[in-house]
Structures are given as structure tokens and as C-alpha cells.
Homo-oligomer: A and B are copies of this chain.
Amino acid sequence: MLNFTFYNPTKIIFGRETIKDIAAEIPQGAKILITCGGDSARRYGVLAEVRAALQDFAVFEFSGIEPNPTYETLLRAVRDVQDRHIDFLLAVGGGSVIDGTKFIAAAAHYPGDPWDIVASHGGGVSRTIPLGTVLTLPATGSEMNPTGVVTRLSIRTKFVFKSPLLYPKFSVLDPTKSFTLPAAQIGNGVVDTFVHVAEQYLTYPVAGKVQDRFAEGLMLTLIEEGPRALAEPQNYDVRANLMWCATLGLNGLISAGVPQDWATHMVGHELTALFGLDHGKTLAVLLPAMLEIRRDEKRAKLLQYASRVWHLDAGSEDERIDRAIAKTREFFESLQLKTRLCDYGLGAEAIPLVLEQLKAHDMVALGEQRSVTPERVEKILGRCL
């Protein structure tokens, strides 16, 4: 097992009718900015519930944080925070709203050019505005980690930033708030969570037995509950399991002490920044091809995955790996995500553009072995056509 530090001070408040508990988590007298996305939080009553819980506070609102939150939009919120002297941020939404709110939290008191926060991947952050979240879309795990992803439209760049100062103080996870989500968002969320787990598990063995069991436990649960979430949208326990999986899939627990990959995410971010593909869809396309092309460096873990997650124990090693990858692809498709670039109107002409952006972003040696060079990405994308 590798050495590690694990630290995660976010308080999770999980279950039915928990939004009413948020007032006790926010410092008395705080001036709060609620941040949110489109109008679904308002339409389905979540915003009203949040506002009712905060009636003893001065509350302002910034709406319109888009999926793949943009630097351009977020800068407007930063000015709002500065103008109103906001001292607590409350993100109401999914990963995009929470990620965007982390950027706002980091940028409001940042002395330099706020793009530096993102360009340095969070390096220079020394003072932030505290934030809490009310999660409505289980997927990214942002509700219990110190990481955000922001897109700058003007330069087609989607970058990750993180700082230990950006853990939410608390996150409210009420699974009933996910009942009204469209099927496409549930499917994207399940795939996003599954690929988060894969990025931390499908690498090479380092005798991290608990980490492996936990990762497999999350995958097994997602495989059971994902399709049920589409078929039974009001099933509380199904949505509760998905929500808790999404949080635990990226809160630092299963990656503690083991190698990590993240090549699928990094190449996926370029596809989103260039062509506007949903994040979950980029992952559904890329992961099977990544595993096919990189099967030798991942062989031991792929065989473990085949056995423990898909119960594939017969046949040669390569047959088991092939079947595990095929099962993974079928699972994504059962969640109504297509797994080929052509399904999204992209062909071979996209490949050089992605390679160019990866080089521009210095992403030339990705993955747990630093072996995913632009040449290998070219092969991987070739498999995605």
C-alpha cells in the first residue's frame, strides 16, 4: 500500500427532510448567496425549501450557473459576492453548481488574476468564503471533496482545481430531491460515478485490499441500482444508494493509498471543451477504449474486476478482459448513454483537434503509469469511432 494522507471534514446530512437543518450549520448573521443553475431548483420547490430554512439570514441569489460552469459566468457571481459582502455561499444543485461555487469561493478574495486559480489548479488559494451545498443531482462527488472543474469558453479549456480550503462545510443529501431528474441526467450521473471509481481502481495492484473491496462495492451497487433508478424514479432507497455511492466514489476514501489514473477524465474534458459533449457521455465513450488499449498495464486489476464485479471466471485472461469491457459498455448503454463518437456526430476529424489541445494543456503523459501519450490517445480515440 502507498503512503497517504486522508482528511475530509465535510459534514454530510443525509436523508428525507434534511434541508430544514441547514440553518444550524451556518454562522449566525451570515450574509448568504445561494447559487444555482437553471430553473429546476425553483420549479420543483427546492429553492423555496432552502429559503424557508434560512429565514433568519440575509439571503441573495445567483442563478444561471450552466452545466460545465464557465469562467465567464462565474466572474459575474464573484462580483456579486464582492459587491454585497457575502460571507457564506450555499450551492443548490449538482456538480456543476457546486464546482462553480468553489471557484467563486476561491476567487472572491483572490488578489491576482482569478484565472490563475484554475490555471495553477488551485495552487495559490489562501483565503476562501465558506460554502455549503444542497445536492440535487448525484454524480460528481463535489459535495464532499475540495475539487472543482471550470471551463473557459474563450480558450476552450476545461481545467480541474483543488484546495484543502474548498471542502464544503456541510452538504445536505436528500435523495427525494433527485426524484424529478430527467433520465438522461440520472444515466450521466451513474456513469460519472462508475468512471470515478474506475479511475481509482483499474490501475495496478498495490495490496490495497480494503480500497479494492470498497471500490468493487460501489461498482456492484451502481450496477444493481443504476438501471432501477431509471425504471423506478420514485424509489427512495435506490436513489439513496446512488447518492451515497456518488459521494463516496470521489471523497478521497477509495483513492487513499493506491495509484490513480484519470486519463479518461482528462481526455473527456477536452471532448467537452471542444465539442460540448456531456461529461458523462465522454466517459462512456472513452473508458471502454482506454481499457482495451491499455489492457497490458492494467491486466491484473482488469482480471480482478472481471471476477469480482462481473463474476467472469471462465476462459483465458484476454477473454475475461474482453467480456468485462463488453459488460462495462453494455452497462453504460443500459443507462441510455451511447458509447461511440459517431453516436454524437463526431468522426476521425475530431481526433487531431483533441491531440492538439492535450499538447497545449501539457497533458502528454497521462494515467497511473504516465504512459498515455498523445500517440496512444490517437489509438484510443480511433477505437471510439
On A, residues with C-beta under 8 Å from B are 1-16, 18, 207-210, 213-214, 216-218, 220-221, 224-225, 236-237, 240-241, 244-245, 248, 253, 256-257
Contacts and interface: CB of A to CB of B under 8 A. Distances in A.
B1 A240 contact: yes
17 contacts: A1-B14, A1-B236, A1-B244, A6-B12, A7-B9, A8-B9, A14-B256, A208-B241, A210-B218, A210-B245, A210-B248, A213-B214, A213-B217, A213-B220, A214-B217, A217-B217, A253-B253
Contact of A221 (B2, B16, B210): B210
Contacts of A208: 241
A341 to B, nearest CB: 33
B3 A244 contact: no
Given A213-B220, A216-B217, A257-B244, A8 B5 contact: no
A207 B237 contact: yes
Nearest to A11: B7
Contacts of A9: 7-9
A178 B382 CA distance: 50
A207 B216 CA distance: 17
A204 to B, nearest CB: 14
A6 B12 CA distance: 5
A257 B244 CA distance: 10
A315 B261 CA distance: 43
Contacts of A3: 14-16, 18
Contacts of A217: 210, 213-214, 216-217
Given A210-B245, A220-B213, A241-B207, A14 B18 contact: no
Contact of A1 (B218, B241, B257): B241
